[in-house]
Copies of this chain bind each other. A is one copy, B any other.
Amino acid sequence: MEPEGATRALVMSDVAARAGVSHQTVSRVINGHRNVAPQTRERVERAIRELGYRPNPAARALVTGSTRTIGFVTVTINQYGPAQTLVGLEQAARNAGYSLSVTVLDEATAEAMREAVDRFVGQSVDAVVALATYDDAAEALHLIDVPLPLVTVQSGGAVEEPAVGVDQVTGARLATRHLLDLGHRTVHHVTGPADSQEARDRIAGWRAELCASGAPVPPYLRGDWTPSSGYAAGKELAARVRAGEEVTAVFLANDQMALGLLAAFHEEGLDAPRDVSVVGFDDLPEAPYFTPPLTTVRQDFAELGRRGVRLVLARLRGEELHLDPVPPTLLVRGSTGPVPARALPAGV
């Protein structure tokens, strides 16, 4: 037996010595080469097991030129969507024998994005997956010229680079359609930041569905994804309702803003779905427990991560792979209902 504690100088030739072969044969066994006698292979494998040997990844990377690492850049990770995408990404990467290196951008600027990708290049990862929903960062991604596969997740818009995403437009149409089907004459919309492609896609879907039904298209309200901006929008809309404007259905570009809006409505004595129907977007785990339970559009964020890895692997193999957007689904809960009495034609 070896002395336990001290140095763990265990290298390939130690295994070779124990198995009575050359270090190259050990390497062959480890890398699954053919042309190794079954008996030899077994002997080497036993030696590896007994010694607890593991190849040094740095040495390997040095000679193969691959670190078997994927870099992941994201603006925010402390939100459900990105976090969930990370989970999908990491699991898929791990299953493919890659490890995941993560960077969280301090700010959503092109400069920060460039820096982050650059750091990954310096780290010599094999590929980079970037989650950038803001134009600034997304644009930076398009301009960056990196010597490795770079795939974009959910950056939306006119993307030529390899990318995966959820079909935002369809999601917004689903939400809007649902409200129109309930009999609402039109649907108001609270959008996200102007420089978010996702927000714009959801506006487009909402507008398209209204137009398709010949419903009037009211101006949308601007939010910034936060509950507090939803709250502000809620106050604004409540005031309009009091002023007699017909606001019976609201579609918000995410669940957090919907939460804020519900809070504001509640304060103003407006109840969903009695007075106003409300639909969100994302399907947070909390959404079923909002007051009332939120009707929303679910996006499969983890699937996004998994597809990101598929795309990366394909490009690493030099293949061209195109993945269609992931279809979102509508989840109907308690926050939507028929048109309130006050908005129905008199006498009904």
> Would you call A329 an interface residue if the criterion is a C-beta within 8 Å of the partner chain's C-beta atoms?
no
Contact B78 A78 (CB under 8 A): no
Which residues of chain B have C-beta atoms less than 8 A from A15's C-beta? Answer: none
Q: Determine if B103 and A286 form an interchain contact, defined as CB atoms under 8 angstroms apart.
A: no
Which residue of chain B is the closest to A65 with respect to CB atoms? B58
Which residues of A in the span 19-59 have a Cβ within 8 Å of any Cβ on B? 54, 56-59
Query: In whole angstroms, what is the CA distance A86 to B231 when docked?
Result: 28
- Segment of A159-167, A185-193, A214-222, A288-296 engaged in the interface with chain B: A288-296
Bound together, the chains give a CA A103 to CA B86 distance in angstroms of 10
A101 near B104 with CB under 8 A, answer no
CB-CB contacts below 8 Å: A276-323 with B: 285-286, 288-291, 293
A67 close to B (CB within 8 Å):
yes
A326 at interface by CB-CB < 8 Å:
no
Q: Assess whether A342 is interfacial by the CB under 8 Å rule.
A: no
> Which segment of A198-206, A235-243, A258-266 sits at the interface?
A258-266
Q: Which of A87-95, A133-141, A150-158 makes up part of the contact surface? A: A87-95
Is A124 located at the chain interface by the 8 A CB criterion?
yes
Contact-residue bracket for chain A: 35 or more
A111 at the interface (CB under 8 A from B): no
Across-interface contacts of A230 in B (CB, < 8 A)? 289
B90 and A103 contacting across the interface, CB-CB below 8 Å: yes
Docked complex Cα distance between A84 and B67 (Å): 28
In angstroms, how far is the closest chain B Cβ from the Cβ of A207?
Answer: 27
Partner of A67, one of B58, B62, B106, B286: B58
C-alpha spacing A228/B289, complex, angstroms: 8
Q: Which of B101, B227, B260, B290 is the one whose CB lies under 8 Å from A263?
A: B290
Q: How far is the CA of A104 from the CA of B77 in the complex (A)?
A: 14
A100 to B263, CA, bound (A): 38
A123 at the interface (CB under 8 A from B): yes
Q: Is the CB of A122 within 8 A of B289?
A: no
Query: Does the CB pair B103–A101 fall under 8 Å?
Result: no
Q: Are B102 and A100 touching (Cβ within 8 A)?
A: yes
* From B79, B99, B260, B290, contact of A123 by CB (8 A): B99
Contact pick for A124, options B56, B100, B226, CB 8 Å: B56
Interface centre among A231, A285, A289 (most CB of B within 10 A): A289
- Set B8, B101, B285, B293: member contacting A101, Cβ < 8 A: B101
Within the complex, the shortest CB–CB distance from A72 to chain B, in Å, comes to 8
Out of B69, B91, B106, B262, name the residue touching A91 (CB < 8 Å): B106
Query: Are A285 and B256 in contact, CB atoms less than 8 angstroms apart?
Result: yes
State A263–B334 Cα separation when bound (angstroms): 12
Contacts of A122 in B (CB 8 A): 54, 57
Nearest 4 Cβ contacts at the A-B interface: A58-B61, A227-B289, A78-B83, A58-B62
A–B pairs, 6, beta carbons within 8 Å: A8-B147, A58-B124, A86-B104, A99-B101, A227-B286, A259-B289
Known: A86-B104, A231-B289. 5 other contacts (CB 8 A): A57-B124, A69-B101, A78-B84, A99-B101, A227-B285
